Amino acid sequence: PSPAPATTTAATPTACLKAAYLYYETIWSQPAPHLLASMMRSDHEEHDYVWGPDEPLAGIPAMAAHINSTHAKYPGLRFTLMSVSVAPVPAGGLAPTGSTWAVMVQWRASATASSAAGSMAGAALTHGISSLVFDVEGRLARTDVYRVGYAW
């Protein structure tokens, strides 16, 4: 499958960092999954090494559904970014051109309301580190999630 139409022209460290903040602070935390198409490849894969190591989420519709279902389980879900860094990387089958970037994000998730798992108001649900790999056009191509498995 081909990538979704690009809204960026080339990957730069600054653009990839901004996209990582958009992904967690807006798309995940508001939630605003309708914005995924503006920054994510249509063939994006998310690999969650705690809950789904053998079954990656593939494509924008699967990610949007995952974001919506997670918010249904954990009302008021918010991500706080603790540390963010970027480096050039040949990853996920993408050409090592020097324009392919990985953003490493250390994050903490909390909820502001009760959830199916019990009262989680203001409590940390989980925390982890994610690797977000951006292609040469600055589109999110792959996400690898490593997190503590409690409360999800």
Per-residue pLDDT reduced to its tens digit, 43-100: 998 888 776 667 887 999 998 998 898 888 888 888 889 888 888 776 555 555 557 8
CB contact at 8 A, 4 and 60 = yes
Domain boundaries of the chain, sorted by first residue:
13-147
Correct CATH for 13-147 of 3.40.50.10420, 3.40.630.30, 3.10.450.50, 1.10.101.10: 3.10.450.50
CB contact at 8 A, 100 and 90 = yes
Q: What is the dihedral of CA 33, 109, 92, 96, to 10 degrees?
A: 100
Query: What is the pTM assigned to this prediction?
Result: 0.78
